[in-house]
Amino acid sequence: MPVETVETRDWTRQNLHVHVAASGEQYRFVMPGAALTDDEFRRLEEKVLTIEPGSLLVVSGSLPPGISVDNLMQLVKNAQQQGLRCIIDSSGDALAAALDVGNIELVKPNQKELSALVQRDLSQPDDVRLAAQSLIQSGKVRRVVVSPGPQGR
């Protein structure tokens, strides 16, 4: 699968997961993302406009420091106007903002993120299924894939 990149001055965020075999415990060290300069974000926007219509644009992770949900919404709108199908794997305000744009191909929240988005407890599998279906029925997204998150249920 072809991948397009935009060079940035800062390193890409790296996370570390440590699994202790003896106890089954897992430790996650999640580092903050690097900030994007205005010029780097502008180059990203320009790069998106060169992607072939019908392609997928995957937006994943948290927003970099300095990038607002308005920036994200405009990026998604521009991508859709270019004929790109958008996949969003984010949470919180970024996920909600992308859904507000609408016409999203797929979102991939975990159970906790979906619960926060729909503002209700999703402790039962049927609750998760109904919440995902409600997003699809809203017309904002065509597909929803919900992962169990860290609890693994």
19 lies in some domain: no
pLDDT, position 3: 80
Domain contains 12: no
Q: Could you tell me if residue 6 is inside a domain?
A: no
For residue 109, the enclosing domain spans: 34-151
Number of domains the chain contains: 1
Split at pLDDT 50, 70, 90, the class of 65 is confident
Q: CB pairs under 8 A, 24+ apart, for 75-79?
A: 75/44, 75/45, 75/48, 76/101, 76/104, 77/101, 78/45, 78/48, 78/49, 79/48, 79/51
Assigned domain for 47 exists: yes
Could you tell me if residue 25 is inside a domain?
A: no
Q: Is residue 73 part of a domain?
A: yes
- What is the domain-level CATH number for residue 128? 3.40.1190.20
Q: Is residue 85 part of a domain?
A: yes
The pLDDT assigned to 153 comes to 44
Mean pLDDT within 75-94: 96
Q: Is the pTM of this model over 0.75?
A: yes
